[in-house]
A and B are shown apart, each in its own frame.
Chain A
Amino acid sequence: MKIGLFIPCYVDQFYPKVGIATYELLQKLDCDVHFPMGQTCCGQPMANSGYQYLTKGCDANFIANFAGFDYIVCPSGSCVLHVKEHLHDQNQEEVAAEMRRKVFELTEFITDILKVDSIHGNFPYRVGMHVSCHGQRGLKLSQMTELNAPFFSKPEQLLHNIKGLDLVSLSRKDECCGFGGTFCVTEEAVSVKMGQDRIKDHENQHVDYITGGDMSCLMHLEGILKRQKSPIKTIHIAEILNSLGN
């Protein structure tokens, strides 16, 4: 099974350890993983700002880089959702459509395609799970509190066999953190307030770490935590799942 590793641009540049954890974890799970060096960005920052028409170049570059893989896996629900919903190519629409079907967020790839329901690891901390909206409400990685439907969570399911990990229950289980792409600067006041409120919920549960499937949300929360000089740290779920080392 040949996997194309799709690493979000800001993860590549700011959080290489998340890329490394994802790469190593997939290898441990017997995947043949490759990182196409020409990849840049899925185009979401433009599209969500109303400039989807400017993303054709990104789309073409994405398709050029990820052609020929059985699956495309990415440690970000948000980037995956963008590709699933908006990747197009006028000249080779079938290829784009095929890619939209083959792109997966890391945890759903592990549970749904690899059919692995538990991963062993060691992470002896109190952890709060920040549920990122695009992964949850877009990709349906976990049940949404608004709906009258049974609970499930693909990421939480994977955390169950991590030794020592104490997953807390939040009072607002799936409230948005306020990152929202360019929203984080265009609506700075509300964005920061939303982030502060999310953090407070985790603080009330005395967590050591806030984890999640999207580094963009975690980057926003981390930025606020650091400004507050909080001892709480952020960590991507891939890093926890890869905690057993090689």
Chain B
Amino acid sequence: MSSKKIIEHSQAATHFNKDVERVNWHDETLWFVREKRDKSAHQIPDWELLRETASQIKNNVLSNIHDYLIEFEANAQKNGIIVHWAADAKQHNEIVHSIMAKHDVKQMVKSKSMLTEECHLNDYLAEKGIEVIDSDLGEYIVQLRKEPPSHIVLPAIHLKKEDVSETFHEHLGTEKGNIDPQYLTESARLSLRNTFLTRKVALTGVNFAIAETGEIVVCTNEGNADMGAHLADVHIASMGFEKLIPERKHLGVFLRLLARSATGQPITTFSSHFKKPRDGKEIHIVIVDNGRSTQLGREDFRNSLKCIRCGACMNTCPVYRRSGGHSYHNAVAGPIGSILAPNLDMSKNADLPFASTLCGSCTNVCPVKIDIHDQLYKWRQVLVKEGHTPTSKTIAMNTMAKVLANPTIFNIAGKSGRFVMKNIPGLVNNKMNKWYDQREMPDVPEESFREWYKKNSREAKAKDNE
């Protein structure tokens, strides 16, 4: 994965847009989710106050996270949970593997965890001879297809039922051409039930970790996290350290926001609170940094760590809906992914903050009020300063800045060729003017406004009448 050459967002998006019908379908499907979110949010009179409250809780967490982590670890240990700390993805994967090795287990069932996607855990364990089966239906589908998820909440949203039908026919032996979602889901249920019943280690993500009690909360609709965890001897829960919240009662705020923002449901089917392991069994929590402490130190980008991974910003993003999750080449796609990814690797992800019109819809749907579009703007400034933009663009921008700062030159340039529009094409690494591909240029009027004004303004007329 990580060794593969990155295809830039714009290029991947161009490819995605070759199939217009499919783009329309993708856009409409995700817009439908956004509409469900609106309907659900608009039924809560206190919705905006709820967002503000959640935002303030998360601000408090980020300002005191050092102490909360210590409190959380102590309480979790009191509850009989084993806590591990991983500085980066590599350490996380090694810790998970060491737990597997200690129990001499070669198979794992896993529920949705974007963190393990971020750490490329599956690939790592595969190299160690360990088989991982993803049990969330969407993740199961993409795993069979050897693809990454394209959305953090709806991992297979880029696929149509015909695609799933083919994949299941190949891997599960379902009837060829049977595209009924009920039938396909039932087939996966039967296959995965057998998996749940035979795995000794289950890994889950963590939605919330409560400092006050040392418990973790995992939310699913399918019940797959619970099926895995309650049947296994060992439950490993991987979490980024920003998943902490101070007190149990704060869950009331977050559980009201999470599913409504994600899919428009009033709550996920299951919101499971794991506090102590079953008798004789183990719960391990792996607390992961992997760049988060660096992001915590970037004042402008710090509050991206408030994210509760609802995916609302993706569903509302007009660019995401028309370019697909894979075009973001990052475990977390869409607007939130575009402000998280540069922290991990600026040069690899320098294109992402530019994959936005800065329309601001993401910021408005965010349940914890992350100023996503402002951060996209700020990342652009950082990336330019750090030298992650093509030289041609920098040269064009310098020329533009000089002309626009000087009215005399501007007027000459304006007259001779409508400066701004003519120069925008110079900003792309392409000799062709991309404006023209599917658009006409505006007609050039006989005179500019300032030329008209010189002749027709009140002052000019008054002068004429003198």
Contacts and interface: CB of A to CB of B under 8 A. Distances in A.
Contact of A58 (B38, B380, B393, B401): B401
Contacts of B443: 14
B404 to A, nearest CB: 4
A13 to B, nearest CB: 5
The residue in B358, B394, B403, B418 that gathers the most chain A C-beta atoms within 10 A of its C-beta is B358
A184 B346 CA distance: 23
B194 interface: no
Nearest to B24: A197
B342 to A, nearest CB: 12
A51 B401 contact: yes
Interface centre among A7, A175, A181, A186 (most CB of B within 10 A): A186
A189 B324 CA distance: 13
B438 A16 contact: no
Interface stretch (B91-99, B126-134, B329-337, B381-389): B381-389
B273 to A, nearest CB: 29
B38 A146 contact: yes
A189 B419 contact: no
B158 to A, nearest CB: 15
A187 B13 contact: yes
Interface residues of B, number: 85
Interface residues of A, number: 80
A222 B435 CA distance: 12
Given A133-B358, A185-B425, A224-B438, A39 B401 contact: no
Contacts of B433: 185
Given A16-B445, A224-B439, A57 B434 contact: no
Given A46-B400, A193-B17, A223-B439, A14 B421 contact: yes
B448 interface: yes
B359 A137 contact: yes
Contacts of A220: 439
A182 interface: yes
Interface in B305-330: 316, 318-319, 322-323
A242 to B, nearest CB: 14
B358 A54 contact: no
Contacts of A37: 407, 450, 453-454
Nearest to A145: B38
A137 B361 CA distance: 8
A178 B357 contact: yes
Contacts, number: 244
B448 A43 contact: no
Interface stretch (B40-48, B175-183, B243-251): B40-48
B357 A183 contact: yes
A157 interface: no
A243 interface: no
A234 to B, nearest CB: 10
Contacts of A55: 401
Contact of A185 (B318, B398, B419, B434): B434
Given A185-B427, A188-B434, A219-B442, A61 B449 contact: no
Interface string A3-35: 000010111111111111001000100000111
Contacts of A175: 318, 361
B360 to A, nearest CB: 4
Contacts of B457: 23, 34-35
B407 A38 contact: yes
B27 interface: yes
B284 to A, nearest CB: 39
A148 interface: yes
24 contacts: A9-B414, A12-B449, A13-B414, A35-B450, A40-B406, A46-B400, A48-B380, A50-B383, A53-B385, A61-B406, A144-B361, A144-B364, A147-B48, A148-B45, A174-B361, A176-B357, A181-B358, A182-B424, A184-B434, A190-B322, A191-B357, A219-B442, A223-B439, A224-B439
Given A180-B356, A185-B428, 9 more contacts: A10-B421, A19-B449, A144-B361, A148-B47, A175-B361, A185-B425, A185-B434, A191-B357, A224-B439
Interface of A: 7, 9-20, 23, 27, 33-35, 37-41, 43, 45-58, 60-61, 133-134, 137-138, 144-149, 172, 174-176, 178-195, 197, 219-220, 222-224, 226-227
Interface of B: 9-10, 13-14, 16-17, 23, 27, 31, 38, 41-42, 44-45, 47-48, 316, 318-319, 322-323, 354-361, 363-365, 377, 380-381, 383-385, 389, 393-394, 397-398, 400-407, 410, 414, 418-421, 424-425, 427-428, 433-435, 437-445, 447-454, 456-459
The 4 closest A-B pairs by CB, nearest first: A57-B405, A180-B357, A223-B439, A19-B449
